Structure formats: C-alpha cells, structure tokens
Structure 1
Amino acid sequence: MNVVLISLLFGAVLYTEGMINIIETKQTNGTFWLAGRHQCARLGGALVSFNSQKELWWVKGYVKELCNKRNYWFSGNDVRHEGIWSWNPNTGEINRDCRDWAHGEPNSWRGLEQDCALMWASRGYSWDDEQCHLPKEYICERHMFSETVCSCRI
C-alpha cells in the first residue's frame, strides 16, 4: 500500500494512496506555475496530478479545511496543445473521469493565454484555467519511500 503525506510548514497529514506535499510558499503572493513545478522537483516530486476521484476529492477537501481561501496550482496544463489538458510532465491527456472544472471552464477568458490549471478557492476549489505567470500557492506530490518524480497515473 502507498502512503501519502501532506506536508505543511508546521506538520503533516497522511493519506493512503501516494505521497502529496502541499507546500505553503513563503512569499505572501505565492509563486508562478513553472517556479512551483521546479520547487516540487527540488523536493523530489512534481506538481500534483489526480489519478482517481477519491484522491481529487480528498485533496480538495483538505485545502478547504485550511480555510485560507488561496488558489493552488496543480500539474494540469495545455501548454503544448491548446485545449488538450494534460498532466505535467506531459504523459497524456487528463482522464475525463477525473476532472473537476468549474462551470464554464476552461475558457481562456477574454482570449488570454490561460494554459495552467488551478484549484479555484472562490469556486469551492473546482478547477480554473489561468495565466501561468500569476502568483499562486501550489501542491506537490511524491511517492513515499521513492526518490523518483511522480508521473501521471491515469
């Protein structure tokens, strides 16, 4: 059995299906998507991807409990192919059974390049497409007892 650890600045929470580190960035305004991806890699992981509804809803519930009303980057993106959402590293399209887009999303609002996905606090942490350069918090994932970076498991 895999064990998941959600790690914050002041503690950790275990989950039973992988290892997820939620990193509260030290910057008051968060960090951009690519910097979050690099920080996760430095920690031996990757921006979180969801391989099951159970994992998605567990992480979503956990960030709701933080009560900080912040938006969180995860690995979903359509950087390589507009409109084709994939996990990062790009190992394939996001499983249609494991999506949680907010109503009307993704939409590249007003024609903006919104190529990165986030969990949108004001929409109950459903997904939104957003400009990758905007500062947000981010969620990292890595397997416990593994030194390798996670890949998509869809």
Structure 2
Amino acid sequence: MSDSTLPPAFPPPSFHMVPGAPTPVAPFSHCVKVGPWLFVTGQMPTDPADDSAPLPEGIEAQTRRVMDNLVLVLEGVGYGLADVVQARVYITEFKRDYPGMNAVYRSYFAEGRLPARTCIGVTGLARDALVEVDFVAYRP
C-alpha cells in the first residue's frame, strides 16, 4: 500500500480532567481523546460538588448520579450522549437492581439511539457504590 492510500493517522492521545466533574477515586483521567474517539472512565455516583458526601440511596438515584456525571465529562470536552456508541455497566446486586438501573439508564438516550452495551455483575465497586458506567464515544 502506498502512503497515499493509507488511512490518515490519528493525532496523539489527549488526556482530560474536566472542571466540575467528580474528583477521581483513583489515578486516572476523566477521559482520553484519540482522533474522533473518546474513552470515558467509569463514573461513580459521587457528588461532583462534594466528594465526601454520602452516595445517594438506591439504584435509581445512584444510576441518575452516574449518568449525570458522565454527561458532565462528555460535555466538558464537547461531546454529548448522542455521540456515545458503547457503554459498560457494572452493578453489584444484579438480580435486584438490573430493572431499576435499566429504567434510569434508558431515559438518558433518544429513541433509536441506544449505544451497544455490556452489563456485568460484580462483587464490589469503589466507595461501596451499587453502579458504575463507562462510555466510548465517537464524533467524526
């Protein structure tokens, strides 16, 4: 293949900490942009205004906080929910909380624009959260 037929190379990755988004609970960036791709770190149900505040009670409230935190990160780098192409959801009480998490999660996306998704039951999450969600977004 000649150089003229090779796909264009992506610029180097850019690492982002978004003002106003929750302080990370571990050493990571809120998101990393590589060309048109955005990889958003899993968000916890923490209050972006007060990291030490107790987590919301129940799966619905925690899922809402997680999704709101993800929106903060997306918007902080010029993306939105319409750009999300893939999600991973981690929940600690799968049988109990799967329906409630799904109801809240679904409400954030436009009809016909649901990203591909994997949902995984896990034994524990940071701060004893019930749910964590991460995204991959794409904007050409």
Both structures adopt the same fold (TM-score exceeding 0.5): no
TM-score (norm 1): 0.33
Relative CO higher for 1 or 2, CA cutoff 8 Å, sep ≥ 6?
A: 1
Whichever of the two has the greater Rg, that structure is 2
Task: Write 1 or 2 for the structure with the bigger share of helix.
Answer: 2
